[in-house]
Amino acid sequence: MQNLKFILSGGGTGGHIYPAIAIANELKSRFPDADILFVGASNKMEMQKVPQSGYPIKGLWIAGIQRKLTFDNALFPIKLLDSLLKSRTIIRHFKPDVVIGTGGFASGPLLRVAGIAGIPTVLQEQNSFPGITNKWLSKKASKICVAYENLEKFFPKNKIVLTGNPVRQDLVDVKQKRQEGLEFFKLDASKKTVLVLGGSLGARRINQLIAIELVNFSSQNVQLIWQCGKLYFDGYSHFNEKENVQVLPFIDRMDLAYASADVIISRAGASSVSELCLVGKPTLFIPSPNVAEDHQTKNANAIVEKEGALLIKESELDTQFTGTLNSLLNDEALQKKLSKNMLQLAKPNATKDIVDEIVKLIKN
């Protein structure tokens, strides 16, 4: 087989970037001589995270449409045309065998151009409610790998393959890393640890909540690992002065954070939900209401309906959070039930299954 070439595109948030990196790693494992290129939005976090993972990336001048009238919205048609032209140049020079999109507006122009050029394309849809970019691209896609059932109403049924979401392989068997995690974060093994995750960019409402709840955490004698997000770190870093509180802008060793945690409080982005199923720790979801079609609530409900996690809406935090969290912390039977049910929903082979679909499209 000739030297294979793959382009992966997607970004804006960790939920689109990390699945793409996981797929790239599996491709590189199977085809060590393959050339792999990423394409993202020139001013988004993929421009840092992808090179840190060892892959080259090219940026497009593209951005999503804002919900309110802005100058950037007025520029959108120009940015889209520029990105389509640059994508055509990238495709013509790189000559990929397959192009893979993991969602986010950055993947739109590139996969559109690839489809028009007759190059096989694979979409990876993480959410229970697809984003506008993947819905736009689905008619031309060769395969659509999804993480949830019943997406036939959005995508052509004959193209859908239920694979689950790609997850970092270092999350498999995190239970074996508990001692390493406790030492890494300098935690007290005799105390329960709560891990708070607001997503890769942080979550203002969750940060506000945790700041107020620190007194309650102290009364429960638990220790806290709090990923507040880079955007909010300056405003919350002073809480590091408190005993049993660690505030971090970003957690690079998520495997050790998960391994250390006894209870997890998290947003319900698709990648986070998939990771948490694999980890199987008792989880309280606080979905973001500020996303398209409220898809985080739908993601979380897919787990809650199987009694694999708890959920509190943002609008109910003031009245329900303290009681719900304290009950969870002090109910060992509930913790075990949630863990058991969540683990049963995991799809640990998702990345391999997605790459199997990509390989089927390679033209010999």
The single-letter code of the amino acid at 109 is: P
Average pLDDT, the chain: 90
Mean of pLDDT values over 175-183: 95
Residues shown for the chain? 364
Full strand arrangement of the beta sheet holding 263-266: 245-248, 223-227, 193-197, 263-266, 283-285, 310-311
User: Does residue 13 or residue 55 have the better pLDDT?
Assistant: 55
pLDDT of amino acid 77: 67
Residue 5 confidence (pLDDT) above 70: yes
Question: Which of these ranges, 292-296, 323-327, 356-360, has the smallest mean pLDDT?
Answer: 292-296
Mean of pLDDT values over 220-224: 97
pLDDT of amino acid 38: 94
Residue 73 confidence (pLDDT) above 60: no
User: Does residue 42 or residue 362 have the better pLDDT?
Assistant: 362
pLDDT of amino acid 208: 96
CA torsion sign for 239, 244, 245, 251 is: positive
Mean of pLDDT values over 157-186: 92
Residue 319 confidence (pLDDT) above 90: yes
Report the DSSP beta bridge partners of residue 310.
284
Cα angle: 194, vertex 348, 337; to 5 degrees: 45
Residue 150 confidence (pLDDT) above 90: no
Residue 109 structure tokens: 């122009």
Mean of pLDDT values over 88-115: 92
What does pTM read for this prediction? Answer: 0.82
Residue 24: pLDDT band (50, 70, 90) is very high
Residue 83 confidence (pLDDT) above 60: yes
User: What is each CA distance from 141 to 32, 114, 119, 228, in whole angstroms?
Assistant: 26, 9, 10, 37
pLDDT of amino acid 167: 85
Residue 268 confidence (pLDDT) above 80: yes
Cα angle: 27, vertex 32, 38; to 5 degrees: 50
Question: Which of these ranges, 24-38, 51-65, 134-148, 207-221, has the smallest mean pLDDT?
Answer: 51-65
82: left (phi over 0), alpha (psi -120 to 50) or beta: alpha
Mean of pLDDT values over 118-145: 91
